Amino acid sequence: MSLEVSDNSMKWRFDFSRIPSACGLSGFINRDGNRVGGEVIIESMRVMNERGNGLGGGFAGYGIYPEYAEDYALHIMFESQEGKLACEALLKENVNVEKMEEIPTEPNERIVNPPILWRYFCKPRAEKLNETGKSEDDFIVDLVMQINTDVPGSFVFSSGKNMGVFKAVGFAEDVGDFYRLGEYKGYAWIGHTRFPTNTPGWWGGAHPFNILDWSVVHNGEISSYGTNKRYLEMFGYRCTLLTDTEVMAYLFDLLIRKHRLPIEIACSVMAAPFWKDIDRTNGDERKLYESLRSVYAGALVNGPFAVIVGFSRGLMGLNDRIKLRPLVAAEKNEYIYISSEEAAIREICPKPERIWAPRAGKPVIALLRDGA
Amino acid sequence: MPDRFLPSEFIVNVDHQRCRRCKRCILNCGFGVFDFQNMTTADSSKCVACHRCVVFCPEEAITITRNPLAYREHASWDVELRKAIWKQAQNSGMILTGMGNDKPWLNIFDHLLIDACQVTNPSIDPLREPMELRTYLGRKPDRLEVKLDSEGKIVLENPLENNIMINVPIIFSGMSYGSISLNAQRAIAIAAERLGTLMNTGEGGLHEELYPYADHIIVQCASGRFGVHSKYLNAGVAVEIKIGQGAKPGIGGHLPGEKIGREVSGTRMIPQGTDALSPAPHHDIYSIEDLRQLIYALKEATGYKPVSVKIATVHNVAAIASGIARAGADMIYLDGFRGGTGASPAVVRDHVGIPIEIAIAVVDEQLRNEGIRNMVSIIAAGGIRSSADVVKAIALGADAVAIGTAALIAMGCRLCQKCYTGNCSWGIATQRPELTSRLDPDWGAERLVNLVNSWSLEVKEVLGALGINAIESLRGNRDRLRSLGLDPATNEVLGVKPVGK
Ligand code: SF4
Ligand code: SF4
């Protein structure tokens, strides 16, 4: 199973094996909802250049499309014009497109061979929703899955509302410049640089991984990948990218969106407490964790990871259950920062009020304040 | 013609220079090999190579060798085939045997290799970090309903119920009182309690003396209904409906009358000395909806304890397992074609059924495809020989494994395969009081505890190498297995890639 990427390959993206990679991540949120330019997250990522090898970088910004806040903003990469036409035909059938345009970029010599990059602000067609009986979110998820598995040469890499993912093959800071992130303002940003151990050379493989408004940047290699992937498949997810991050994103989607578990509970499924600690609790609490671990055994993510998850209400950072990858958090005024390295935080916030290393398996959850 | 048309399989030699005529071998041999006429003599024709005499001879005076008799080679007419024909030509009847399939079928476990971490993800040191083997057996809901109440407190609306916690994903398989001795069952019960795991009564009822261990016992209800009454059903933590057994798919349990003395007869509720022949099918289960009725009858009778259904792994095992899950079972016990037995026709033991590795893979996959994997726990048995097999079985998709033969070997069994004779020199597969009394239950229990603890350590070591610290992250994780020397079709059925991929 080798990777095949060629301009006219119909197998544009799916025929490759899982690739281990290490990474650097950073993210911050203004809890009052005040919007900040994308250059800030680029500066934070630039400090962690060492953590990547130029084979993947990306960002997600929240609150960047206020003028289309009610539309799903689909960012799609196309391998060819034919792919684009096929995909647009499918879109036309299923959604009303409010606006479509090329994603603005500033070509630079370090970002090579960009695919065709377009964005579509759209809503599901009412008659399609009636016909299928799905919720708007489920409808969009299924549409994204359909495009990504069935439409050759098309890949949706961002599908939330009032947010967007920007990613490419390259160092994070170059990717940020390429997408002109300084021209966007968002209340939360996350960034990622990647150090894969071989070269997929495919833009879709960069982070963040996104579905709806969930974006995940991730540093780690999931030792339980096979278990998690097969567990997700039972709930209809198709893990086509063979990346750990995809699995993380789907697990959050399943636990939080579909099963409506509180975020803290979803975290204690994915980075479950040890039995020895559960055994020290009593009554309802013990029953809760005993039930969570048995029922959601397939969703326990084992192996090293540090992850930052962005969603419309906030940011969340989480480490694996024995903290095998670095993660630091800091707070200053209405800002919360989460990063692989303290230096990446101090670069954009030199004097935080509080800086700490979150404990293994204990999430850092930073939500927008009520009314923000 | 001479009576002994068949030459002896083994030659027993007593070194008379060393022998001090203590007669221990005479007492110890269950098969009556030894006699004393001025000196110790041995009738090699009776020897089954169970090594009891060898182990107990204080002078190491006894050696047992394979009879070196040459047979004219024939690639097609294997010597064993010729011997079978000689036997059957002499005494019309089926050839009986004991223990599991001894034919050299491909052993798939031995063609699976386990992954380990290097550089990109760290392995975990089981000496310094917790390694969790705890497992819950039973039906689980697909999702939990967790709400925040008005004070922001987390409330779980559908807590896990009717699951059995075991400390290690290894339980003891069903071996009935009758097929094995009460002392052997005692040893297993004590070990199960000490290990925090389970034993299974097999189909012979539960002797009064074992009721104190009931929290660690699964009681079985087989087609013969031996020893089944309401106190019995309610005694254990779960009830198992035995449909079939790996060593003899499609046929019922057979216990020869010689093994049915007063105690066995009392426990089984049948007359002394009669053969206990379980019907091949349950006569109230001729289809899947009948199974459903029995499952629910047993649940009603026991206040909804978990019900396990044990089947032999046959060709269509995946569809059968799916039916069992949907019929309301909480556990499916898959017994592979290498599973052991006290007595089985050799033709069935050696030629019927499919390997447990394949069965785990296809059942797990089928249940997942149908989205009902959470409905049941899968227990894999019949061919689990080592901690490596445990790891591989769980990685293929089992929740836990059951061991029978391995447990008996730990208590002295030499795999002589003569269990059906009732003469087991090791006091295991016999009811002869002078033989059973030699198996000390505490000694046996200690050896079983040692064995399972050793395997647990080894499983933890492998988990650590895999960078995993909880057994559930191994379950169904076929990504961490590769096959070596299996054909592509088998790889596909197993859901395992070949090495190098
Ligand atoms: S046990 Fe050994 S020493 Fe004793 S009688 Fe037998 S052969 Fe001789
Ligand atoms: S249990 Fe006894 S009779 Fe059966 S194989 Fe083992 S040693 Fe032989």
CATH of the domain at B26: 3.30.70.20
Residues with Cβ within 8 Å of B409's Cβ and at least 6 positions away in sequence, in order, are B415
Any B CB within 8 A of A67 CB: no
Q: Give the residue from A1, A18, A223 with the most B CB atoms within 10 Å of its CB, the best one to mutate.
A: A223
Residue at B144 is within a domain: no
The mean of the pLDDT values for chain B is: 95
What is the number of helices (H) and of strands (E) in chain B?
A: 15, 23
Q: Which one of the listed residues A23, A87, A239, A267 is annotated catalytic?
A: A23
Residue at B63 is within a domain: yes
Residue at B137 is within a domain: no
Q: Which domain holds residue A242?
A: 2-367
Q: Are residues B375 and B478 in the same domain?
A: yes
CATH of the domain at B474: 3.20.20.70
What is the count of structural domains for chain B? 2
Q: pLDDT at residue A3 above 80?
A: no
CATH of the domain at A61: 3.60.20.10
CB contact under 8 A, A295 and B143: yes
Q: pLDDT at residue A51 above 60?
A: yes
* Residue A267 a catalytic site member: no
Spatial separation of the C-alpha atoms in residues B156 and A67, rounded to whole Å: 40
Q: Are residues B362 and B474 in the same domain?
A: yes
Q: Are residues B259 and B397 in the same domain?
A: yes
Any A CB within 8 A of B79 CB: no
Q: Over the stretch A152-211, which tens digit does the pLDDT of each residue have? A: 889 999 999 999 999 999 999 999 999 999 999 999 999 999 877 655 568 888 889 999
Q: Are residues B63 and B170 in the same domain?
A: no
Q: Are residues B79 and B170 in the same domain?
A: no
Q: How many CA atoms lie within 13 A of B192 on its CB side?
A: 32
Q: Is the CB of B424 under 6 A from ligand 2?
A: yes
Distance of CA A253 to the CA centre of its chain: 11
Q: Among the listed ranges A69-78, A124-133, B120-129, B463-472, which one has the minimum average pLDDT value?
A: B120-129
Distance from CA of B476 to the nearest CA of A (A): 5
Out of B344, B428, B431, give the residue to mutate to test ligand 2, the one with the largest number of ligand atoms within 8 Å of its CB. Answer: B428
Out of B341, B416, B432, B436, give the residue to mutate to test ligand 2, the one with the largest number of ligand atoms within 8 Å of its CB. Answer: B416
Q: Are residues B40 and B172 in the same domain?
A: no
Among B43, B63, B97, the domain-final residue is: B97
Q: What ranges make up the beta strands (E) of A176-239?
A: 185-186, 188-196, 209-211, 214-220
Q: Are residues B219 and B76 in the same domain?
A: no
Among B97, B123, B144, the domain-final residue is: B97
Q: Are residues B257 and B390 in the same domain?
A: yes
Residues in B closer than 8 angstroms to A297, CB to CB, are 472, 475
Residue at A157 is within a domain: yes
Looking only at the bridges linking them, the beta strands covering A335-339 and A328-332 are: antiparallel
Peptide bond into A273 cis (omega under 30): no
Q: Complex ipTM, two decimals? A: 0.91
Residue at B138 is within a domain: no
Residue at B106 is within a domain: no
pTM above 0.95, yes or no: no
Residue at B284 is within a domain: yes
Any B CB within 8 A of A227 CB: yes
Residue at B158 is within a domain: no
Q: Are residues B92 and B169 in the same domain?
A: no
Among B54, B79, B97, the domain-final residue is: B97
Q: Are residues B171 and B80 in the same domain?
A: no
Distance from CA of B316 to the nearest CA of A (A): 22
Residue at A372 is within a domain: no
pLDDT value at residue A13 = 42
Residue at B481 is within a domain: yes
Residue at A309 is within a domain: yes
Residue at A36 is within a domain: yes
Q: Over the stretch A113-150, which tens digit does the pLDDT of each residue have? A: 899 999 999 999 999 999 999 999 999 999 998 998 88
- Percent pLDDT > 70 in chain A is 92
Q: Over the stretch B315-336, which tens digit does the pLDDT of each residue have? A: 999 999 999 999 999 999 999 9
Nearest CA owner, ligand 2 atom 6: B413
Q: Are residues B80 and B188 in the same domain?
A: no
Q: Which domain holds residue B26?
A: 10-97
Q: In angstroms, how far is the first alpha carbon of chain B from the final one?
A: 62
Q: Is B182 left (phi over 0), alpha (psi -120 to 50) or beta?
A: alpha
Place of tokens 């070997």: B409
What is the count of structural domains for chain A? 1
